[in-house]
Structure formats: structure tokens, C-alpha cells
Amino acid sequence: MAPRALLAGNWKMHGLQSAVGELQKIIAGADGLPKLDLMVCPPATLIAAFAKAARGSRVLIGGQDCHSLPAGAYTGDISAEMLKDAGAAAVIVGHSERRQYHGETDEMVRTKARAAHRAGLLPIICVGETRAERQAGSALMIVRAQLDRSVPDDLTEVVIAYEPVWAIGTGLTPTPSDVAEMHATMREWLGRREAVRLLYGGSVNPANANELLTVANVDGALVGGASLKAEEFLAIAAVYR
């Protein structure tokens, strides 16, 4: 039996308090989409307000990153426990933008995934290759290595998001056959952890959602820019209607 689909929106560094109105539109639309789980991951400044607005609804709220420790002298950082306390149910770890701009390694991502589990959050672990790695024919090898080092082998309550780095925010997307090959490889890597959901991410939008999200072993998507507007996010979700 295929895992239940998950559509998660990563708002990145977008959104002020007025954005709760967009969330409310997503909440209203979620009632007509019983076949999947919907999640919005806003900036940390909005998590508490979004969690309050989403309470009792079918929409989950997630964070975009967490520190590996529960507390300490780490100015500007946020622990998984703090996210949980603010109302989050999940947290993204290892996004390529964190790896690129903040120097996060696979080992750091692994400790953050464990921190999320410790705090009672669902870790959404991101992996993906660069354009050069794809062109060199090493994409599968790169992602397998990231999985080996980033995903704790004793955790079953995780989500893995495949996001080819070159497709994030560029409008470029891999072919459905490329996505199928990568997701089949990840499913094989998981072995007996059949319940782990595999998301695709990277320039997902209403125009390409049906083509990408109906590929075998794709259990949903991690959506960037198209999740900022309820109309676009719900149009992607309609694939699972």
C-alpha cells in the first residue's frame, strides 16, 4: 500500500503577519482534499500564529530548520523543542539552500533529524544533486551518499524530499523518467521502511504537478514559490482529488 500523500509548502524567507489570510484560504480548501496531508512551513516568526490559525483544521504547520541541541548559547538559532512549543508538527532539515549558504554537511543534517525526532517533530530530510553532478552521470551516487550520511538508519518516522539543486526556483525540472529513476533508487535504499514518504521538490507548479506527482514512488511534493499563494498551492494539491 502506497504511503499517504503529503504536500508541504516551504515559504522560505517570505511572509509577514498579514499572510495568515493566505493560510486561511489553504485551510478552507483543505476540506475538499481528504486524500492527502497538507503542510505549510512559514518563517519562524509566523509559526505560532499559523499554528493557532490552523488548530483543528487539516493543515499542519512546520519549521524550516532547527538546531541540533535543545537549548544553549546559540544566538539566532531555534531548537526543535522551540518549534514544537510554538505549534509545529514537522521541520525541514538539509535543504540545499541551508547546505549552500550555511555550510551544512550531511552529518549536521543527520543530527538535526535526530533533534527533530527527539522533540516529537517529523523530520523532512532534503537530498539532491547539482547540475554538474547530474550532467556527469553521478546523480544517483550523490543522492545515495547523502541518504547514507543524512538519514538516521533507526528512524522510521521521517520524510525524504528529493530536490535536484538545479531545479529549485529555476523553472527547470527533471523529466518524469529521471524522477522515477531517482525515487525508485531511494525506495530501494529505504528497504523495509515502506511507510517513509518520498517527496519531489524543485519548481513544482500547477502546470507540471500532474506529470511529476503521478510518477511511481512519488508520495507528494515539497513546494517552494507556488505554495505562497493558496490558489496555486491548492491547484497542485488537486492532483490528489
Query: How many domains are contained in the chain?
Result: 1
Cell matching residue 9? 509548502
What mean pLDDT do residues 77-99 have?
98
Nearest to 187 by CA among 177, 178, 197: 197
Q: Which three cell numbers stand for residue 79?
A: 531548537
**pLDDT above 80 for 1:** no
Structural contact between residues 63 and 92, judged by C-beta atoms closer than 8 angstroms: yes
- Which grid coordinates belong to 1? 500500500
Segment holding 229, helix H or strand E? none
Residue 184 has pLDDT above 80, yes or no: yes
Catalytic residue among 67, 95, 117, 183: 95
Which segments of 154-225 are extended strands (E)?
159-162, 197-201, 220-223
- Cβ neighbors of 126 (< 8 A, separation 6 or more) are 92, 93, 94, 95, 96, 109, 160, 161, 162, 163, 201, 222
Match 491547484 to its residue by C-alpha cell: 235
Q: Which domain holds residue 54?
A: 5-69+78-240
End-to-end CA distance of the chain: 18
Average pLDDT over residues 73-86: 98
Instruction: Assess whether 95 carries a catalytic annotation.
Output: yes
pLDDT (tens digit per residue) in 224-241 = 999 999 999 999 999 999
Q: What is the mean pLDDT of residues 176-200?
A: 96
pLDDT confidence of residue 104: 98
Helix 139-150 vs helix 106-119: crossing angle, to nearest 10:
50
| Residue 99 pLDDT level (bands cut at 50, 70, 90) | very high
Cα 50 to Cα 59: distance, rounded to the nearest angstrom: 10
Give the pLDDT mean for 100-129. Answer: 98
How far is the C-alpha of 175 from the C-alpha of 181, rounded, in Å?
10
The answer to whether residue 163 is catalytic is yes
CATH of the domain at 215: 3.20.20.70
As a whole number, the mean pLDDT across the chain is 97
